[in-house]
Amino acid sequence: MIVVGGGIGGLGAAFSLTRQGLSVRLLESAPAFGEVGAGIQLAPNCTRILDDYGLLEEAKSLGVVPDSMVMRDAVEGDELTRLDLRDLERRYGYPYMVIHRSDLHGLLLRACERAGVELITDSRVTSYENTDSGARVTIASGEVHEAGVVIAADGLHSVARKLFVDDQPVSSAYVAYRGTVPAESPRVQGTDLSEVVVYVGPRCHFVHYGLRGGELLNQVAVFESPKALAGQEDWGTPDELDAAFAGTCDFVREGLPFMWRDKWWRMFDRDPVMNWVHGRIALLGDSAHPPLQYIAQGAIMAIEDGWVLGEHVARNRAEDGTVDWDTTLAAYEAVRPEHCRRVLTTSRKWGELWHLDGVARDQRNVLLRARGTYDYSFVDWLYGPTALTPEQEPPMFSPVPLSSAAVEEPLAVTGSGAS
């Protein structure tokens, strides 16, 4: 079979399918395998799969298993709520960890190499089509690759997705800056690397946590771009970064000089689609469900997709090794799109919640401060075992309306002196 795309989702799927005894060819468009970015968070629903793959200990050796996740107000700097990640590990059976994106990518690449995946670079796929016996892809050179099944893990700008829906990425008007700071920096020495911290502020937020065993501090600064809202092409520039965080607390502002200022990531997602299978072509990862990053499930969903697909291959394989692909792909499509729809829509809502201003921000802060540290009602639907059937999908959490928080309304300014 063929997997298109050598990112985290494509590599994870190729490994999952190879360990089920399938012969997998992976086509990557770039001249070499690699991953850009900085840190990535892996919740228990992902580390559970890495453990099943026999890769968890290697991942832990490359990353950090923090003690706590803390949410603070970006303006005042005070703590709003926290998760005890050691207790969370006891609850779900697997750790919450953070790792450099390139380290996770490298781990999966090495696993694919050991498993015997045929890894081919410089192979940009330009078209997909079904055949009588499976599916084929054509690459930019004109070369054609055929297989019984093609898994399209070709990312946000997926070519394969056009077979399913005529849509475009949706701009959130938010942009992310990233940067890492070496441990010997005074910035790091004054920071608790056992915590994953997010500062939530009006139209911006700031995240930091340790990487590579505490050798690095990873920082992410995200803000709404006025230029994007105004429809300008040149948006998310460093001057907007500084302006967006001008009203935040000292710790956040002092982190801005450490951000990489020559590159930034404009944040897009796509509207959920529920049809991922077209004949013998199936979407996986960001080609199916690119999310906004607010609940840190993007790469995890892609890894889950590959694991679920592999598990259904195992359940629908005859003694002679042949796979009932119609049943396998139908089972995959029966469970994954609905889960990922929930993640995409929740990610959007979570972003709105983080970036509130005015009375709504005050209401949010009251509700977060009232939350108990060991209240897992908002993550139980995410962090438990990955569902293989719709019946296994846990119920969603019940949203708490902001209006239920009692806050003092600010006095209105009236009279001829108001301006």
Mind telling me the catalytic residues? 209
H or E element in which residue 224 lies: strand 216-224
Contacts of 293 (CB under 8 A, 6+ apart): 176, 267, 347
H or E element in which residue 268 lies: strand 265-269
Residue 283 φ/ψ region, left for φ over 0, alpha for ψ in the -120 to 50 degree band, beta for the rest: beta
Output the CA torsion 368→373→374→375 (10° steps): 0
Strands 195-201 and 135-139, bridge-based pairing: unpaired
Output the CA torsion 89→95→97→102 (10° steps): -160
H or E element in which residue 389 lies: none
In a 10 Å sphere around its CB, with 0-12 CB exposed, 13-18 middle and 19+ buried, how is residue 104 labelled?
buried
Rounded CA separation 375/204 (Å): 26
User: Do 197 and 72 form a contact (C-beta atoms < 8 A)?
Assistant: yes
303-341 b/e with 16+ CB inside 10 Å = b?
A: bbbbbbbbbbbeebbeeeeebebeebbebbbebbbebbe
